[in-house]
Chain A
Amino acid sequence: MELLFTLRKLRPLEKLLPFADGIITGKYFTTGYHLSLDEIRQACRFCRAFHKKFYIVMDDFVCEDEKILLYDYLDFVDSLGVDGIYFHDLGIYNAAKSYGLVNKLIYDGKTVLCNSLDSAFMLDQGIDAVQISRELTLSEVKEILKNHSGKVDMQIFGHLRMSYSRRRFLSNYFRQINKDYDYLGKETLTLVEEQREYRMPIVEDDDGTYIYTDYIFEMFDEICDLKKDIKRGIVDTLFIEDDALICQVLRDYRRINKGNQNFIKDSFLHNYPNDYSSGYFYQKTNITKE
């Protein structure tokens, strides 16, 4: 398993990169990444210098009138000589064909890639790998990995995205209550449903609004069994300010990945207390109202 982390803003790569196999970053057609094109280019050079992998993420939707930007951006991405491109909009697949980049594409299924057959269908299109949805039980994950060993990427740490809207929930709300507030791109805002207590991070940018889980997903206990079948494990750093925490996460996953069985989760949890969760691994979400 390759161990990657998302570079969402300038962080001390010299401290983090030694513990990872590469980074994922981006600017357009994604959210929560704050690097300029020059900074992305520099990060790419840095990775190359240290023989690390470099991936671009374009995991949002593309509107018809953004297609010029899409092709301009793909020019830039192509010029970097990236190791892979995470995409979600099927229009990007079509556009990547004209750049001969299909074999570098990784389909990030977000919330809609939950099975082996759809994974096979996408892989049959000549792409490099698929990133499966986060709303899966552990046994479902195992089944997909069994069927597509070495072709599946997974988010292994970080807040999980729960919703993505083109609507500007924050702008509209502040307009509704006549309040001036500096919110655009801000990552400190949280939503709390009136009958519940947990706080779900919410971010709005030019492309819409995104809501994430209150908890940080981790799979330290499960990764031992799965690592041989996972192509890339991704540590998402969104909303995590503490570089030391990210460093420790990478170090610990790397240790486990290398077969070190002595990793003690309790120690990690003690040193870096947070609301962690194994997500849906042990919780089915197929309850329906009759």
Chain B
Amino acid sequence: MNKIELLAPAKDLNKAKIAIMYGADAVYVGGKFYSLRSRASNFDLKDLEELSRFAKQYGARVFVTVNIVFHDSDYYGIREYLRFLEKIGIDAVIISSLALIPVVRQEAPHIECHISTQLSSLNSSAVRTLKEFGADRIVLGREASMQQIEQIARKVSVPLEVFIHGGMCSNYSGRCVLSNRMTLRDANRGGCAHSCRWKYKLYDGDELISDPECLLSMSSKDLRASAYVERMIKSGIASLKIEGRMKSEYYIGQVVKTYRKMIDEIYEKGSLTSDRLAYYDNELSKAENRPSDDGFLSGDCDNSKHLYGVNGAGVTHDYVAYVHAFDSSRNIAVIEIKNIFAKGDELEVFGPKIDNKHFIAEVMFDEKYNLVELANKPTQLLLVRMPFAVEKGDMIRKAAHE
């Protein structure tokens, strides 16, 4: 059996490279057109080509989202686009328009068709139908429980992809046009205004029945399926998908690395102890910007899985710097400030090859070799003396103590 795939999102080339360096087997990205995340920076053709080349060096695969709900005029240029994707070696497109299956076959025969979660496939019969239609992989709807996922996986032969982490639509994907009505932004063509996260008064007839101190919200907590990864591996799921094409490089790095290590440990040891699962959960919590739970995987989503009152946005740990280079002869790292930190702060480094290694930021210079006491200018480059080697692509955050 093939090892399960870890599939990560990226909103730009830098984040895609980070995802791959931190252990993703595949990344999914959106082009400038045809993609649901209009506010993600999204890749132009040159970026896609570079990403494809970069991914091949690491043996990683690249999937491109072509997952808007197309209106007739939106198909303009799609054939040329698919031919280009084929030419640069893109491995798959993630689609929700079934009519694209024969078009992809015709224009880009080496590219796989993955059916987006926009189709909310929740039963084995739907999966079989999509396979008959020519799909190479089906992304299951996020409303399926773990038990249902196992049942479906037992009954079908087509590879299945399951979301394991990140933000969740509170409605069935693709079946919500609240944003269209309330903002004239088409939720299914990249314009979702996240109206589900807004607050609503509730009436019965003319009687106001909502609590003014706690209005109704449809906002869901994020998904964190760490506790189910082992069962997903054992049930034969082909790919574990992380959500977050709008997320930061820190989120991508931390979440990908954590799941990478978790998956590898499960394959190596056969299972995870509760202590190890707790360790990985703690690692994932470092990149959380919203409370999380296991969504529908455990069955129903009750009120504990919703966000009322505040939206819950925020980070639990500060990501303070990104490593651009390391001079091993002088033990000096060139870092880019992401968030404020000060001389004397205890920091920790994590990266593709380094795990939460602590150090005290004692000697820091700016580019003109002035000593820096307070690193408080985001994007500024600093030189920092390191007690151990780091690499380009490593990240630095304020140290967490268990």
Does chain A bind chain B? yes
Contacts A/B (CB < 8 Å), 23 sampled? A61-B141, A62-B126, A89-B123, A91-B126, A94-B129, A115-B99, A117-B70, A135-B186, A162-B178, A166-B301, A167-B170, A167-B218, A168-B300, A175-B302, A176-B214, A188-B205, A189-B204, A192-B203, A280-B180, A285-B180, A287-B184, A287-B185, A287-B186
Q: What's the minimum C-beta distance from B214 to chain A, rounded to whole angstroms?
A: 5
Knowing A166-B296, A194-B199, the reply to whether A211 touches B97 (Cβ < 8 A) is: no
Contact A283 B306 (CB under 8 A): no
Which residues of A have CB within 8 Å of B171? 163-165, 167
Please report the C-alpha to C-alpha distance between residue A62 and residue B129 in the assembled complex, in whole angstroms.
Answer: 14
Contact A63 B148 (CB under 8 A): yes
Give residues 124-174 of B contacting A (CB, 8 Å).
Answer: 124-130, 132-133, 141, 143-144, 147-148, 151-152, 170-172, 174
A10 lies within 8 A of chain B by Cβ: no
Known: A94-B132, A121-B99, A192-B200. 17 other contacts (CB 8 A): A67-B124, A112-B96, A114-B69, A115-B70, A121-B133, A162-B180, A164-B171, A169-B216, A172-B302, A173-B306, A175-B303, A181-B204, A183-B204, A193-B182, A193-B201, A202-B202, A289-B38
Central interface residue in A61, A170, A280, by most chain B CB within 10 Å: A61
Contact B203 A199 (CB under 8 A): yes
Q: What's the minimum C-beta distance from B167 to chain A, rounded to whole angstroms?
A: 14
Which residues of B have CB within 8 Å of A177? 210-211, 214
Contact A193 B195 (CB under 8 A): yes
Knowing A163-B178, A164-B172, the reply to whether A286 touches B186 (Cβ < 8 A) is: yes
B119 lies within 8 A of chain A by Cβ: yes
B275 lies within 8 A of chain A by Cβ: no
A222 lies within 8 A of chain B by Cβ: no
B191 lies within 8 A of chain A by Cβ: yes
Which residues of A have CB within 8 Å of B188? 111-112, 114, 135
Contact with A along B22-47 (1 / 0, CB 8 A): 00000000000000001100000000
A136 lies within 8 A of chain B by Cβ: yes
Q: What's the minimum C-beta distance from A73 to chain B, rounded to whole angstroms?
A: 13
A240 lies within 8 A of chain B by Cβ: no
Which residues of A have CB within 8 Å of B100? 117
Partner of B74, one of A115, A144, A194: A115
Give residues 138-185 of A contacting B (CB, 8 Å).
Answer: 140, 143-144, 162-173, 175-177, 179, 181, 183
Please report the C-alpha to C-alpha distance between residue A172 and residue B302 in the assembled complex, in whole angstroms.
Answer: 6
Which residues of A have CB within 8 Å of B201? 191-194
B120 lies within 8 A of chain A by Cβ: yes
Which residues of A have CB within 8 Å of B402? none
Residue total for A at the interface (Cβ-Cβ under 8 A): 75
Knowing A64-B123, A140-B72, the reply to whether A111 touches B191 (Cβ < 8 A) is: no
A120 lies within 8 A of chain B by Cβ: yes
Contact A166 B143 (CB under 8 A): yes
Which residues of A have CB within 8 Å of B178? 162-163, 211
Knowing A163-B177, A176-B214, A191-B200, the reply to whether A89 touches B122 (Cβ < 8 A) is: yes
